[in-house]
């Protein structure tokens, strides 16, 4: 076994190297992951079809409409029809079926809508940036590997903290000591958060995409597709036989009330119609168990199935009848996606995400401080590239909602234009950080441009959608109002930070002549 001093040395060096390797990609994932905590609200804000004040508890009634809509849009047949009920995640009622375009119904007016995919452009793009799927083939496994790196850093960092506490006295006051204490305090504060999100991220990103060896080994080399082995056990879909003769169905609201009566703990989120309108038709109501939200997440929904014509209970699948692994997996997914939780928990998790980002950035500054007096351009160039990534991401991402509202809805390939502009804008900041000598100027301009873009996107949102924040307030469209307010507040914070940066002498420490002025 190694001596204690050598263990410390090895731990310290490995923490630095792995930290620098995973820092930038994981920072990107954390940044967009933190934004996607607010995805349900962002989806409403970015989609003109969702700009209305929903009724209390997202109430709806499609009794008079359902039969006609199903028939008119060719949903009646042997394939099950999925109805996603309006909720805080999406205030529209969605009707979908295999290999068919989804239909959306405004629950207030009962108007049938065809919502374009582009309406959720911002949330989809941010989510793809978070998962790394924007990098073809290797993106998701790469993000998974970064998550494993964060697990290593969390364990190693805590180990280092314990070692250092028993072996060293505190160093004298310096910026290095300041960054170290920031890195230490923020790092210790987010240990549970980092462990949960890094472990779930590693599972979702890396393990699910590289599960072949496990399946191959378990089946002694006969099957290497994990999903074909696991899906029939965990995600088995019920099969109901339907007759040919038509039959009168009970109204949907009556069936929903009956399901709720038989299973009061179930908070219904979805309903599946089997052979609707025919003899033997069934309706399966699914949702989460109010007493155990974590275990009844999206991969393990308890359900109750009713006969659609008589209302009799056909199947009652409570949480204790589900597979143990499904419950574990559901808890696991719940910890990462918090699917059924509303704003409170999402704000808390977003704050932890921000602390994680600060921890990563202070870790970088700790290393940068060490390299400050190194000769040559490498340390300076690394600092500049880091600024382009760590801070340049803010104006680049602020450009996306701005363009979403500025560009015409009808613009051909709008999504590609916006995505392309995002990458071009981010590249511009990379160029600018190398071109401009003053680091304070670079950071200040990045923050100011992000602040202006956020402010302008609120303005254009109002102009294009007709929902300025005072109108949202009067119409009690609270999600729109609070989203606009949050963007304005973020913009003000960014303006303040830009001013603060200009006054801080600290940033001049990292300033040298600049790449084009020579060293």
Binding site for another protein (CB under 8 A): 1-2, 6-7, 9-11, 13-14, 17, 144, 147-148, 151-152, 155-156, 198-199, 202-203, 206-208, 210-211, 213-218, 226, 229-230, 233-234, 323-326, 328-329, 332
Q: Which is nearer to another protein, 219 or 246 (CB)?
A: 219
Give the Cα separation of 379 and 370 in Å (integer).
Answer: 10
CB of 382 to another protein, least distance (A): 18
Q: Which is nearer to another protein, 109 or 166 (CB)?
A: 166
CB of 299 to another protein, least distance (A): 11
In 98-178, beta strands by DSSP E: 103-105, 112-113
Q: Which is nearer to another protein, 7 or 430 (CB)?
A: 7
For residue 453, report the phi and psi dihedrals to the nearest 5 degrees: -65, -40
What is residue 399's three-state secondary structure? helix
Q: Which is nearer to another protein, 190 or 215 (CB)?
A: 215
Give the Cα separation of 501 and 508 in Å (integer).
Answer: 10
Q: Which is nearer to another protein, 13 or 290 (CB)?
A: 13
Residue appearing with tokens 């190398």: 434
Q: Which is nearer to another protein, 208 or 485 (CB)?
A: 208
The residues facing 435 across adjacent strands are: none
CB of 317 to another protein, least distance (A): 17
Report the 3 state secondary structure along 158-211: HHHHHHHHHHCCCCCCCHHHHHHHHHHHHHHHCHHHHHHHHHHHHHHHHHHHHC
CB of 141 to another protein, least distance (A): 11
The residues facing 104 across adjacent strands are: 94, 113
Contact 225, 216 (CB under 8 A): no
Q: Which is nearer to another protein, 152 or 452 (CB)?
A: 152
CB of 332 to another protein, least distance (A): 8
Give the Cα separation of 195 and 17 in Å (integer).
Answer: 20
- Work out the burial of residue 420: count CB atoms within 10 Å of its CB; fewer than 13 is exposed, 13-18 middle, 19 or more buried: exposed
CB of 362 to another protein, least distance (A): 22
CB of 236 to another protein, least distance (A): 11
Give the Cα separation of 393 and 110 in Å (integer).
Answer: 41
Q: Which is nearer to another protein, 198 or 356 (CB)?
A: 198
CB of 201 to another protein, least distance (A): 9
């Amino acid at each position: 076994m190694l001596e204690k001093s050598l263990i410390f040395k090895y731990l310290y060096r490995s923490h630095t190297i792995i930290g620098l390797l995973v820092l930038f990609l994981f920072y990107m994932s954390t940044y967009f992951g933190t934004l996607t905590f607010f995805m349900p609200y962002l989806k409403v804000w970015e989609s003109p079809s969702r700009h209305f004040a929903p009724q209390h508890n997202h109430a709806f009634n499609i009794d008079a409409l359902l039969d006609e809509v199903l028939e008119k849009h060719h949903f009646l047949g042997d394939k099950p029809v999925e109805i996603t009920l309006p909720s805080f995640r999406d205030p529209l009622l969605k009707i979908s079926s295999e290999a068919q375009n989804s239909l959306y119904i405004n629950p207030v007016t009962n108007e049938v809508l065809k919502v374009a995919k582009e309406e959720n452009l911002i949330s989809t793009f941010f989510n793809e940036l978070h998962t790394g799927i924007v990098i073809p083939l290797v993106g998701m496994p790469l993000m998974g590997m970064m998550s494993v790196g964060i697990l290593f850093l969390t364990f190693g960092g805590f180990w280092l903290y314990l070692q250092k506490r028993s072996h060293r006295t505190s160093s004298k006051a310096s910026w290095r000591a300041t960054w170290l204490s920031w890195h230490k305090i923020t790092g210790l504060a987010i240990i549970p958060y980092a462990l949960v999100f890094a472990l779930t991220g590693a599972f979702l990103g890396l393990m699910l995409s590289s599960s072949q060896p496990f399946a191959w080994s378990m089946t002694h080399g006969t099957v290497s597709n994990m999903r074909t082995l696991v899906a029939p056990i965990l995600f088995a879909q019920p099969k109901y036989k339907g007759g040919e003769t038509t039959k009168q169905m009970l109204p949907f609201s009556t069936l929903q009330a009956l399901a709720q009566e038989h299973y009061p703990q179930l908070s219904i989120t979805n309903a599946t119609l089997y052979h609707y309108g025919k003899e033997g038709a069934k309706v399966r109501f699914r949702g989460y168990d109010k007493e155990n939200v974590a275990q009844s997440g999206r991969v393990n929904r308890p359900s109750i199935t009713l006969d659609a014509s008589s209302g009799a209970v056909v199947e009652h699948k409570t949480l204790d009848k589900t597979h143990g692994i499904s419950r574990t997996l559901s808890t696991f997914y719940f910890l990462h996606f918090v699917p059924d939780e509303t704003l409170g928990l999402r704000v808390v998790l977003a704050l932890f995400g921000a602390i994680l980002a600060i921890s990563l950035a202070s870790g970088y500054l700790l290393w940068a401080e060490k390299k400050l007096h190194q000769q040559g351009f490498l340390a300076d160039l690394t600092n500049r590239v880091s600024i382009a990534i760590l801070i340049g991401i803010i104006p680049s991402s602020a450009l996306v909602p701005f363009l979403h509202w500025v560009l015409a809805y009808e613009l051909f390939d709008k999504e590609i234009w916006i995505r392309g502009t995002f990458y071009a804008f981010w590249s511009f900041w990379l160029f600018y950080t190398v071109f401009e000598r003053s680091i304070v100027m670079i950071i200040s301009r990045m923050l100011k441009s992000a602040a202006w873009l956020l402010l302008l996107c609120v303005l254009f949102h109002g102009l294009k959608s007709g929902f300025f924040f005072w109108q949202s307030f009067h119409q009690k469209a609270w999600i729109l109002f609070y989203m606009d307010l949050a963007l304005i507040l973020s913009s003000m914070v960014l303006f303040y930070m830009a001013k603060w940066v200009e006054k801080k002498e600290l940033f001049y420490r990292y300033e040298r002549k600049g790449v084009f002025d020579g060293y």
